[in-house]
Each structure stands twice: as C-alpha cells, then as structure tokens.
Structure 1
Amino acid sequence: MIQAVYVHVPFCEQICHYCDFNKFYYQYQPVDEYLQCCDQEMKRVTSLYPPEEIRSIYVGGGTPTALKSTELDKLLSSIAHHFPKRASDIEYTVEINPGNVGVEELKQLKQRGVNRLSIGAQTFNEQLLKKIGRDHAPGDVERTIKAARKVGFNNISIDLMYALPGQTLEGFRDTLAEAFRLDVDHVSSYALKIEAKTVFYQRWKQGVLPLPSEETEAEMFQVLIEEMEKNGYSQYEISNFAKRGYESVHNLTYWNNEGYYGVGAGAHSYMGGVRRENLGPLPKYMTSIKEGELPIREEHHVSKREMMEEEMFMGLRKKAGVSKSMFREKYDIELRKVFADALDYLTEKGFIKETDEAVSLTEEGIYFGNDVFEQFLLGEE
C-alpha cells in the first residue's frame, strides 16, 4: 500500500555550503521542460502502481518556491491530477525558503490544498547564516511565519542545524529560544554532517573549517532535547520534535518503513518492495522520460531479511519504537525470534528497553543510535 508522495524540485536561487541534495541554480535551467517530465513520470508510475488514498504529499528540494508562480501552479496541478484520491486529513507539505515567499504565493499554496509548510531557518544567527551560504536574514523567518499564519496555515515546521562552523553552545541556545518565541508547531533539528561534493567538504579537506568538538556537539544535542521538552515539544523521533498532534505524517511514513512514490530528478521511492533512485542530472532524467522510460538510476529488490533490518533501523528512531504486533503482522514471525541476540545485548548495555508491546531506545540509547542500529544487521542470507 502506497499512501505517500514525494516530489523533488531541484532548483535553488542559492546553493548552501552544506547541501548535498540534488540541486541546480534556477537561472537558465529548462524548468518548464522539467515540470512536463515530472508530469509524465507521475502518469507512468501511477499506471504501474495505482495510488491508494494518499495520506501525505511532500514537495521538497532544492527550493520549490524558487519556481515562478505559474511554474509552481503547473507542478501542483500535475500532483492534483495524478493523485486525486486523498484522505480527508491529508498532510500536504511544501518546503519554502524564508524571505522569497510573499502573501500571494502563500495564498496560492493554500488554494491548491497545501496545509503544512516546512521553513529552512537553520539558525537565527546572522553571521552563521552567511557562513553556511544561506541567502535570508534571521528576521525573514518571523515575517514568513506571520504571513503564513495570516493566510491560514496552522501547521508550520522549521529546520534548525547545530554543530555549525564557529557555533557555540550558547549561540545554539539563543537559536532555540528564538524558535520557541515564534511558536512553531514542529521542529526538525540535525547536526551538520560534512558530505562529499559540498563547499564545506572542500574546506574541511583543506583544514579551514572550524567545527565544534564532538563533546560540544553532544552537549548541543542534549540541550536540544531538554529545551524542547521544557517548551512543550515531544521528541517523537531522534531529530524531530512536535507539539501534540503535529507529528509529521510524511516523516513517519519513512520511519514506519512504508511505501512512497518519489518523483523528480534524484528522487527516491519505495514501491512494491523495490527501492529506486532516479537519475539525478537533468539532461539524463529528461531524456529517459522522453524515451518513454522510468528515469531509474538504480533499483534494489528488498529481501524479507533486509525489510526486517530496515524495520529496526528506522523504527527505533521513533520514540514509540518498533511495535511487536506490527512486526509480526508484516513479516509473519516474532520480532524476538529474529533479533534475540541483539535485543539481549542492547538491553544489557542499557541502550534499549523491551516490553510485551514494543522495543524502543532508552534515554541513553538515543545518543548511541548508530551503534544500536548496527546490531540489527543479520548478515548474509
């Protein structure tokens, strides 16, 4: 059953120094041609995998709002046409960049059924914003949120980063305080990771990227958890926090190991037990579409063993953990029968807790997530 849709808009007006997502400068790109190809991909993929009632749509990037109003409307029209059957409580998210979205654009999104915004704030420190290559000012986030509330958006998420070059613990506390003042509904917060093919990677290799120590990064994560709880946000996943009722349906699709459509250059999908990655370069993606194909760069048929491993990797990221009854329903076997050794070892280490209903991370285990997940690799079949 596939109830979630991700659509990738790979265009940006500014390339951030940390970003390794598939993206291109908006200027001089064949945007209209790309949107036509996305429409054709939706048509083909839904003919192969007819959609159920869609519970979540997420338009990400890149920067979807880098598109002109007419271009964005064309994309949203394609989504509406190919995925018309929607749950009454559907979550429909579009990523927006603070500072380049006005009231008219927000009204356009609302009229097209979008009911959730994800805003890339990252930090409220002006110097840090410049260091990481962002093109907005701290005040742009507040102005964007106020405009969105006025238009009628009552589900707003912001992204925050920590362990940024030159960032201090107190500086991160200040950013959190500003986020709480803005009273958003959801916060995603991740530590900076140095990825290949980014500006930061090149600086890191040259030894000119002043990053906080691992100890400071761990302290920032601890402060994040503590301050979120104090301010009424539940840590429902390792890096995600929400007021009650505002947990992201789309994110939970991934962590529940459920299927989803992935449309656009470089997009990933999980359909019919097969994980696919689309071609990333625009010419290759569009040529594949024009030749009547699906634009697949790579696909992997996931075995039952791998599905069970992934169930643990992703499910344990959630505060609720992995449901034993759901595991049994999906894989027709008891969770403990598959992972007894890992469960016993991690319980003894104090990293997980096991009840009759579920397996989940302990408060200490949250800090050692990758070490925990590694224990659930089953080895070769």
Structure 2
Amino acid sequence: MSNIATNSRPPEAVYIHIPFCTNKCFYCDFNSYVLKDQPVMDYLHALDREMELTVKENPPGVINSIFVGGGTPTVLKPDEMEFFLKSIRTHFPNWNKDIEFSMEANPGTTDRDKLEVMKAGGVNRVSFGVQAFQNELLEGIGRIHNVDDVYRSLENARAVGLNNLSVDLMFGLPNQTVEMLAESIKKALELDLPHYSIYSLKVEENTLFHTLFNKNKLPLPNEEDELQMYLLLMSSMEEAGYNQYEISNFAKPGKESLHNITYWRNEDYYGLGAGAHGYARRQRHVNIKGVNPYIEASRKGLPRLNTYAISEEEAMEDFMMVGLRMRAGISGAAFLAQFGKTMEDVFGKSLHKMLNAGLLEQENGIYRLSKQGILFGNDVFGEFVGALTEV
C-alpha cells in the first residue's frame, strides 16, 4: 500500500497513551507519572473528549491497528479499563475484521479479571515489558516485577485466550554480561511466543541513569560486549526461526507488529492522550504532557501542545530514515508513488555513499541495510537526517 493513499484517506492506525505507572524505571524518559493519587477517571474522560473531537475533525475509516502504550496501561483497574475500551469502540467503531489491538503490560499488573476485561473490549495482542530474566538486573533498573511475575502473567493471558503475545528485552544494562543476556534470550525463547522486541539501553536525559552516568556511577558493558550481545541475539533469534523484520524486532512469519509497521512506513496515525504524537495529512502534532494540564485543555478543545506542517523535504527524509529500519527495506516505487520523484534523483549521493561503504544493498529498486549496515544503522539513518532540510 503506498503512502499516497494514506494522505487521501483517514488514518487506519490509532495510538493511545496511558501515562500512569506504579513507579518510574531508572532508564525511562517516557511521558509517565506514578499512579498514586492521580485523577485516573478524569483522565479517561478527557481522553474520551479528545477522541470525540479528533474524529469530528478527521473522521476515521476502517481501523487496522490500535496500540495502547504508556506508562503502563494495565495499571488501570478493571472498571476503568472497561470504560476506556468502550470509549475506543464508541469513537472508532469500524474495525478491520483482522484488527491488531495491542496493549503494553507490566508483568504483575495483569490478573485474570483484568485480562478478561481487556479481551472482552477487543484487545487481542499484549506486549509485556520483561526486560531481563535476572531479578538482580530487574531491581538494578527500577522494575518492580520479578521473574516469577513474568511466567504468571503469561499464564494468565493464555488462560483467558490471549495468545498473540510479545515480550520486550533489553541489553547493554548496568552490570549485564553477555552470559546473562544469553540466559535471558534462552528463557524468552522457551516461552515460544510469536514476537520479541529487544532494545539496547539508551541513557536518556532527565532519568536517574543519566544522573548516575554523569557521575561515572553507571557500570555499563563496554562497547565490545554490547556488540557481542547484539550479534548473539540476532543469531539466537535466527536459529529459533524468527525473522528480524526490523532492527530491534523479531517475529514468526505473519506475526510482525502491524502498528509499528505503520510508523516505519511513515503512514498516517491518530495520536491520543497526554504527550502523544500523531501524524495525519502531512501534519504532526504533540499533545500537552502533564496529566492535569491535559485534562484542563481537553475541556476547551483539542489538547495540543504543538501542531506543525511537514514539508515535502522532511517527509522524504522521514520516509528514508524510518523505512530503512525495516529489513524489507524501502521501495523506489513506493517513494515515486508518494512524492512523484525517484529516490535516486533526490538521495542519489547518499545512497551511493552507503552502497559503496557496504552498509546498504540494492536489488530490484529496493534498498535495504546490509548485514554490516544493521550493526551501524545509526550511521545510515544519520546520512538522511537533514539531507534536504539543512540550510
């Protein structure tokens, strides 16, 4: 499906942000707030209003994917969850019969009652933030679950009939060794899930880890170990029959995340909730971040912090950067369909530079990362950042 179609019809993907967490992880810079004393129902009513105003302004078509992220959406109590899911169904009523409806979850926040409410409300895919299979590592990154919670949560999900499950793992964590990651991958693969996301730790500003890093008190693995970790996870996943369809994501055939592919193809999507980003009709928006300011703003209209038009140059850069994250690569035909120009005419110099460096490969009008390019993805993406828009 070419992007030109998404510019002339409504978004087919919905992202919704639930900003509450039981506690703040040490590495997290997401827009999230500790749950205690938060006005949860007021927030859900505000979300309902934002949905109502959004679909009035840009009516939805058939929705192919919904993704509820956070924070930790599963901190909602069953009655709150039920209200929230009913809101979604009310304002986005027309679902593809094969819709992918994902919700992020923390192990330990998903008892059967809540999972049953989720399933009844249409959720059919759950992504658990596991991160590691060593309790000492989990404690060291500020997670409140333990390894037993992981097994119990997955068992509960399967018991209510939720089988399209994914787990997130992390590597490059403080005090993590290559052997520890090998153990985590082995235990994760023993779960025989359809999908795994495996991310390297990035030390982000405004996090506890950033403070420790600046004081030289964050014992991170060295670069060589981190490279070994990435090579190990790629080879382990391949041997187990998982396709690395994107730099950090592995799936059994047909179980790739539809919603994330929307982002990587630079297609339109609704973005709802505090701090959420949306992209439609070549316009991006960012919502107000704080919970109470978001609630107040939604009483007066759309709770926008910022809305800005994306120029054709920026849209072309985005197409290259996010598209090259996918192992399938980017198609010259899709670029031409969206922009009416050939990829070579616009980015020929950068493409040839990356081909000559052995970081890209090209076949039948498709450019994709080479095996070497996967390891140096940021260098490749950086080649297209500002390539057309820098003055």
Q: Displaced runs of 4+ in structure 1, greater than 6 A?
A: none
Which residue is 1:337 aligned to?
345
Match of 1:131 among 124, 127, 140: 140
* Letter of the 1:335 counterpart: M
Once the two structures are aligned, what percentage of the paired residues are identical?
A: 44
Structure 1 residue 11: Cα displacement: 0.5
Structure 1 residue 230: Cα displacement: 0.6
**What SS class does the counterpart of residue 100 from structure 2 fall into?**
strand
Which residue is 1:280 aligned to?
289
Which residue is 2:358 aligned to?
350
Which residue is 1:188 aligned to?
197
Structure 1 residue 154: Cα displacement: 2.0
Distance in 2 between residues matched to 1:302 and 1:20, nearest whole Å: 25
Say whether 1:360 aligns with 2:390: no
* Letter of the 2:30 counterpart: F
Match of 1:44 among 53, 61, 79: 53
**What SS class does the counterpart of residue 225 from structure 2 fall into?**
helix
Structure 1 residue 151: Cα displacement: 1.3
Matches within 5 A, 1:366-377: 366-376=374-384, 377=387
Structure 1 residue 357: Cα displacement: 3.0
Distance in 2 between residues matched to 1:111 and 1:351, nearest whole Å: 46
Distance in 2 between residues matched to 1:344 and 1:199, nearest whole Å: 41
Say whether 1:144 aligns with 2:129: no
Which residue is 2:388 aligned to?
378
* Letter of the 1:139 counterpart: D
Structure 1 residue 113: Cα displacement: 1.1
Which residue is 1:85 aligned to?
94
Q: TM-score, normalised by structure 1?
A: 0.98
Q: Give structure 1 stretches of 5+ with no counterpart.
A: none
Distance in 2 between residues matched to 1:96 and 1:290, nearest whole Å: 29
Q: TM-score, normalised by structure 2?
A: 0.95
Distance in 1 between residues matched to 2:170 and 2:190, nearest whole Å: 17
Distance in 1 between residues matched to 2:150 and 2:291, nearest whole Å: 31
Distance in 2 between residues matched to 1:124 and 1:43, nearest whole Å: 42
User: Does the 8 Å CA contact 2:81/2:117 hold for their aligned counterparts?
Assistant: no
User: Does the 8 Å CA contact 2:194/2:251 hold for their aligned counterparts?
Assistant: yes
Which residue is 1:257 aligned to?
266
Distance in 2 between residues matched to 1:18 and 1:335, nearest whole Å: 37
Distance in 2 between residues matched to 1:288 and 1:106, nearest whole Å: 31
* Letter of the 1:241 counterpart: F
> What do residues 102-125 of structure 1 show as CA deviations (whole Å, max 9, x unaligned)?
111111111111110000000001
Matches within 5 A, 1:1-381: 1=6, 2-291=11-300, 293-376=301-384, 377-380=387-390
Distance in 2 between residues matched to 1:298 and 1:124, nearest whole Å: 40
Distance in 2 between residues matched to 1:107 and 1:36, nearest whole Å: 22
Structure 1 residue 143: Cα displacement: 1.5
Structure 1 residue 152: Cα displacement: 1.1
* Letter of the 2:230 counterpart: F
Per mean C-alpha deviation after superposition, the further-off stretch among 249-258 and 354-363 is 354-363
Structure 1 residue 290: Cα displacement: 1.3
Distance in 1 between residues matched to 2:333 and 2:146, nearest whole Å: 48
Distance in 2 between residues matched to 1:52 and 1:351, nearest whole Å: 39
Distance in 2 between residues matched to 1:332 and 1:49, nearest whole Å: 25
CA RMSD for the aligned pairs?
1.0
Distance in 2 between residues matched to 1:354 and 1:338, nearest whole Å: 16
**What SS class does the counterpart of residue 371 from structure 2 fall into?**
coil
Structure 1 residue 236: Cα displacement: 0.0
Structure 1 residue 283: Cα displacement: 2.0
Distance in 1 between residues matched to 2:280 and 2:338, nearest whole Å: 15
**What SS class does the counterpart of residue 37 from structure 2 fall into?**
coil
User: Does the 8 Å CA contact 2:29/2:207 hold for their aligned counterparts?
Assistant: yes
User: Does the 8 Å CA contact 2:336/2:343 hold for their aligned counterparts?
Assistant: yes
* Letter of the 1:340 counterpart: G
